Amino acid sequence: MPADPRPDLTACDREPIHVPGSIQPHGVLFALSADRVVEAASANADLLLGGPAETALGRPIEAVVTGLDPAHLDAVVGPQPFDRAVRLGPVSLNDRTFDALAHRSGDVTILELELLDGPPEPAGPDLRHEPVAALVGRMQLARRTGELFDDVARVILDLSGFDRVLIYRFDETWSGTVLAEARNEALPSYMDLRFPASDIPAQARDLYRRNRVRQIPDAGYRPVPIVSRLDKPIDLSSSVLRSVSPVHVEYMQNMGTAASMSVSILSEGRLWGLISCHNREPKRVSPAVRAQCDLIAQILAMRIAVEDVHGDAADRVSVQAAQARLLSAMAAATDFVTGLQSLPDALLGVARAEGAAIVHEGRVTLVGAAPEPRQVQAIIAWLMAGEEDELFETASLGQVMPGGEAFADLASGVLAVSLSRVHASHILWFRSEVVRTVTWGGNPHKQFEPMGPDTRISPRKSFAAWAETVRGTARPWTPAEIDAARGLRQAVVEIVLKRAEELASLTEDLQRSNRELEAFSYSISHDLRAPFRHIVGYAELLAERYGAGLDDRGRHYLASITESAQTAGKLVDDLLHFSQLGRVQLNPVRIDMDRLVLEIQRSLAFETGQRPIEWRLSPLPPARGDASLVRQVMFNLVANAVKYTRGREPAVIAIRGRREIGEAGAETIYEIEDNGIGFDMTYVDKLFQVFQRLNRAEDFEGTGIGLALVRRIVDRHGGRTMARGEVGKGAIFAFSLPAEPASGGSA
């Protein structure tokens, strides 16, 4: 058979872009041994050496580059990270100003001297701080992360001065869609366009994950080679000067952009997307501005991670509720098929599918909108003919199973679990195809271009909107749905084999969710607290050392930075506390609620000061619950009453309690009523949700988590939370706890 003359379409995925052997010309690079001997240097080092770069090899860096700060040299030989370049500060050499950076790469330390356009930027605040601080405040108030994207794009456009800024998100196939855009008229709009995974191949995505900020000041640059006496190429993955692939340069030129900057959005270590900046003319961005853009991206990533965790938790609660009903039905039924069939809505709800099939002992039982039995048997035969795993999932069966496109209308999406490795016993869930039109940024298919006697892959020349109708693809299965299917399989297998196990997989799923929440909580507490403390600390140092030399506006900027960072740090602490509540072990005791309210009054005395507050305290029945958590519920509600009555003369706060017999049995209800600003009952359902605030942060401080904490604590005690209010006329917040037995209990 003759060889295929076409080029390998996966060649871009194997291009060694991390070892290009060259750098961009807006800086100089040295590779140093542990004793600061130059092992490699960029060819343009002659700017600093007074001779060819080769003359520096084998000599100490301080001997060949005079004028380096001794502190920089000491820092270079100290421990350096492998995953990012650390800024050492500005340095002046040969009447030029450079920004010094260093990181480890294998056995050498990479010292990069990035040429600055002008003198080093002052350490004090400038006009860029205020929009960044204001953006952070708006991020805290946004109800959904999607509301932030346009705002982030606009602020970064203003900060950086680029012609176009895009917020770009990857999907599960690594194709990307433009979710938000800010631009001037120099470049066309790419809003809502989709770009194929081949535009950013796998090794490029890995570099974006490892090196968060990347700039190409001039796509027309000439690469500067690296001269070296090392026996292997230098890995420049974390280099800020690393040269880029010629294919990417051609891609930029075809796009009509002469300069670009990318800022990675990492959600829990995964590359979620990019903030992609483009300019028609060459453009360089200072390290300080790049650092600010990186900070914005990290805060945005934090919000994305929080929303993803809570969304995933909600998904798991939904599917696990359906799973629990099925397990109960199977335990009570004579066989598992009867149990599953008895609750068709729950069986579909486990995977939120449109149809399902149970295949056992040669019989096919259909539920909902499912293919015909013979088609289900064909899917089972295909699964068993391959290397069958316990679980199989696809959103496009026609792409992986020959003939599968014939029933794509009902079964484009298939999620299947095998109950036996010997017999054809399976549970399958189905989703129909979603016919949609995808608008690509140009024809996404790579083109062949003759290059002399050879043929190579060329980036597409046009990025005009290119519409394509996509068929045979269903809505993808989520991790929560896949885990629920796997958990149900395990439960069914155990019931079939043992007939005595109940709810076997529910515990496993809950433990997995807890581990994920614990990992997320650790990430917040460990990785996010420190940056905010640093921001506050450095801002306070600036105020202390240079505050006297600043005008009122400068001091205002510093105060805004400090306040925003402190608020963000408080938000992190509240989120951590909120995520941990579900795992706190309750220690129920008898609680004297009268004493508790008096103690809370005393603790709020500093905040209330000389405010005229009329406290109307009725005798409260005792409660039974975890003392510290019940105190937090009462404290949050009373503190809210104090806060939202600010400006009332006098403020009136009433606290009362009563016992009632309801459908769920005896309960004790506690009410906190105030004559404050109240609220519109239209939004009552949002009050107890995370980040849901009905007032501006400028008017009333807070993170929007306090009432969510109240509801979670009360829910864990088996109680209820309620609220009534009227705008301008006050509010009543109430919670209930299961009443103590009549005989009382131990104190």
**pLDDT at position 657:** 93
Q: Which domain holds residue 96?
A: 20-115
Same domain, 613 and 674: yes
For 706-718, the DSSP string reads HHHHHHHHHHHTT
pLDDT for residue 663: 61
pLDDT at 114: 92
Return the pLDDT at 548: 76
- Looking at the structure, do residues 640 and 716 belong to the same domain, yes or no? yes
Say yes or no: 578 and 621 in one domain: no
Beta bridge partners of 89: 100
705 half-sphere exposure, CB direction, 13 A CA radius: 17
Pick from 583, 567, 572, 593: which is nearest to 736 by CA?
593
Secondary structure letter of residue 585 according to DSSP: P
Q: Say yes or no: 600 and 729 in one domain.
A: yes
Q: What angle do CA 510, 513, 514 make, to 5 degrees?
A: 85
My answer on whether 561 and 608 are in the same domain is no
State the pLDDT at residue 744.
37
Pairing assessment for the beta strands 651-662 and 613-617 based on DSSP bridges: parallel
Q: Using the structure block, give the residue that is written with the tokens 């104190």.
A: 747
Domain boundary among the residues 92, 115, 138 is at: 115
Hey, is 191 helix, strand or coil?
A: coil
Q: What is the pLDDT of residue 127?
A: 41
User: Per residue in 307-349, pLDDT tens?
Assistant: 776 666 666 776 777 777 887 777 777 777 888 888 888 888 8
Among 71, 97, 115, the domain-final residue is: 115
Shared domain check, 656 and 644: yes
CB 80 within 8 A of CB 106: no
Domain harbouring 596, CATH code: 3.30.565.10
Structure tokens at 265: 């959005």
139 located within any domain:
no
Q: How far apart are CA 321 and CA 346, in angstroms?
A: 8
Which of 58, 81, 115 is a domain's end point? 115
669 and 546 in one domain? Answer: no
DSSP for 207-218, written as a single string:
HHHHS-EEEES-
Q: Is residue 450 part of a domain?
A: no
Does 121 map to a domain?
no
In a domain, 416, yes or no: no
Determine, yes or no, domain membership for 687.
yes
Residue 716 lies in a domain: yes
Q: In whole angstroms, what is the distance from residue 617 CA to residue 382 CA? A: 72
Sign of the dihedral defined by the CA atoms of residues 242, 243, 248, 252, in that order: positive
Same domain, 529 and 598: no
Q: Based on the fold, state whether residues 668 and 688 are members of the same structural domain.
A: yes
Residue 227's pLDDT is what? 93
From the list 375, 418, 421, 420, the residue with the least C-alpha distance to 398 is: 375
Structural domain tally of the chain?
3
What residues of the chain score a pLDDT lower than 50? 1-12, 123-127, 438, 447-458, 466-467, 499-505, 697-699, 742-747
Residue 77's domain is classified under what CATH number? 3.30.450.20
Residues 533 and 592 in one domain: no
Q: What pLDDT is stored for residue 508 in this prediction? A: 62
Residues 630 and 724 occupy one common structural domain: yes
Residues 637, 568, single domain; the answer is no
Query: Does 27 map to a domain?
Result: yes
Sheet holding 38-42, edge to edge: 22-23, 224-228, 38-42, 27-32, 108-115, 96-105, 86-93
What pLDDT does 37 receive? 92
Kind of pairing, strands 194-195 and 176-183? antiparallel
Nearby residues of 427 by Cβ (< 8 Å), 6 or more positions away: 340, 356, 357, 358, 359, 416, 417, 419, 485, 488, 489, 492
pTM: 0.53
Relative orientation angle of helices 552-580 and 706-716, to the nearest 10 degrees:
10
| Omega before 344 within 30 of 0, i.e. cis | no
Task: Tell me whether residue 646 is in a domain.
Answer: yes
According to DSSP, the β-strands at 465-470 and 194-195 are: unpaired
Identify the pLDDT of residue 192.
80
